[in-house]
Chains A and B, each alone.
Chain A
Amino acid sequence: MTCTVNGVPRTADDVWEGESLLYVLRERLGLPGSKNACEQGECGSCTVYLDGTAVCSCLVAAGQAVGREVVTVEGLSGGPDAEPGPVQRAFLAAGAVQCGFCTPGLIVAVDDLLSRNPHPTDPQIREALAGNLCRCTGYEKIMEAVRLAAGGQA
């Protein structure tokens, strides 16, 4: 199967057609940043962009991504040595990262939110992120991180 991932054309061999996009990213393309916390669309930890739209990659059949553009959390920073993006820096500054398992999905979801709405209100932030579960933080520092990334005060 061939698709564009983080701007680069990628081909995965031997893909069984029952595999999800999440599995292909994690196990066949070496991009384990998207996470597998529920694989049922409830937790948002696998959130990626598919043709520019944020989706749960666990519920996308591998074939559905063929020929499409996929952007994962790995694609939101310029690479291992590059400076993290503003959303990522905000998560670090706010202390919004504990175990970090929800973080990649949240980073993509926040990136998506801020691209549509650069200055969200608190209720808008909560509504937009209600599909992303976090078990460590109680969400307070995630709220702070989003406010920070949006350029406001935490």
Chain B
Amino acid sequence: MERGEKGTTQNMRSISYSRVADVATAIATVTADPDAAYLAGGTTKVDMLRIYAEPSQRLVDINDLPINHIELQPDGAVRLGALARMNDVAMSPIVAQRYPLLAEALVLGASAQLRNMASMGGNMLQRTRCSYFRDHEAACNKRVPGSGCSALTGVNRGHAVLGTSEHCIAAHPSDAAVALSALDAVIHVQNRDGHHAYAIDDFFLAPEDTPEREHPLQHGDLITAIEIPPLPMARDSLYLKVRDRESYEFALVSVALALRVEGGAVAEVRMALGGVATKPWRARRAEHALLGRPATHEHFLHAAREETADAVPRSMNGFKIELARRTMVRALETVTARGGTP
């Protein structure tokens, strides 16, 4: 079959583009149109458009908004504008000195070309790499609620063992969010009605029976900043990432760790895991098990076991449980061995 008339570019998916220069206009524009979406760095959004994950869309480019600063606050907190680029944050002395675990997570998270473009706010909304999520033929409760989860019995080597449900086992992809989780960061959001601040642990949602909901944002909500409270011991912190090759690749297991050892015992600890959980995973059980205990291999291993006690392995990812334990121990020993903070 064929036809011969001249077509035009009006026949494609309806995708439009506009730029806004201030936050209020951005929020008003997106809120008013259910098909509208913020376009920041574009490194996820443009990819999702290409693979047809989003059939039609009104892109509202927010890159001109004045929310890209990296600022040290009077109280010692650091405020990262949502449009600060991953690379700018990683290279910022303010961040690199105070929160090396975040700088390392950012550098390990993506190639230079992507870090140069991708924004901090966008990184918080990065979508999972679960191949069933991206495969329109597969069942995926995250993409089509109620359709099922092909990963439960499929290729789930890269999937989560913590925070899973029978509806979704997709691993959260971000490295930076894992570091921010250990740092108790706060996500600042603005919408038509005003300003909201979410503790990072409340921002990322485990799938439970609504895996399509990854965060509490409503349409039109705009992440404006990420605030990191002061944490002196984080000056000697670590982001450790285990992956399938030596360079850019999603974590099999990662550990973000800040640790203070005093008199041979753990005086203060923050730990979060990536690659093994459905959300950036704050390792509270391990932290609890460590606090006040001797900083020794035996106690590190015990804490790691505690953290993974409820882990649920699937057909191909059981190895992640043991690997996560070993990685936690390695991270704890690494920070301990290099002296920790005084």
Contact = CB atoms under 8 A, between A and B. Distances in A.
Given A18-B13, A62-B17, A55 B46 contact: no
Given A18-B49, A54-B116, A130 B13 contact: no
Given A44-B111, A59-B114, A61-B17, A16 B9 contact: yes
B42 interface: yes
A131 B114 contact: yes
Contact of B117 (A15, A20, A55): A55
Contact of B46 (A50, A61, A109, A130): A61
Given A40-B47, A56-B117, A58-B46, A109 B112 contact: yes
Contacts of A130: 111, 246-248
Contacts of B43: 41, 56, 59
B215 interface: no
Interface in A120-135: 127-128, 130-132
Contacts of A63: 17-19, 39, 59, 61
B97 interface: no
Contact of A60 (B9, B46, B110): B46
B113 interface: yes
Contacts of B59: 17, 61, 63
B112 A128 contact: yes
A81 interface: no
A61 B17 CA distance: 9
B338 to A, nearest CB: 20
Interface in A9-53: 14-18, 20, 39-42, 44, 47, 50, 53
Contacts of A53: 116-117
Interface of B is mostly: mixed
A62 B59 CA distance: 11
B6 interface: no
B15 A17 contact: yes
B112 A131 contact: yes
A152 to B, nearest CB: 21
Given A17-B16, A18-B13, A54-B112, A60 B248 contact: no
B12 interface: yes
A16 B16 CA distance: 8
Interface string B82-120: 000000000000000000000000000011111011000
Contacts of B110: 41, 131
Nearest to B16: A17
A41 B193 CA distance: 36
A116 to B, nearest CB: 10
B42 A60 contact: yes
Contact of A61 (B39, B111, B246, B247): B39
Contacts of B18: 63
Interface of A: 14-18, 20, 39-42, 44, 47, 50, 53-56, 58-64, 66, 109, 112, 127-128, 130-132
21 contacts: A17-B17, A20-B46, A42-B248, A44-B111, A53-B116, A55-B116, A55-B117, A56-B113, A56-B117, A58-B46, A59-B41, A59-B43, A59-B47, A63-B19, A63-B61, A64-B61, A109-B112, A127-B247, A130-B111, A131-B247, A132-B111
* 9 interchain residue pairs of minimum CB distance: A131-B111, A63-B17, A130-B247, A18-B15, A17-B17, A16-B9, A55-B117, A56-B113, A53-B116
Given A18-B49, A39-B50, A63-B39, 9 more contacts: A50-B117, A53-B116, A54-B112, A58-B46, A66-B19, A109-B113, A127-B247, A130-B248, A131-B110
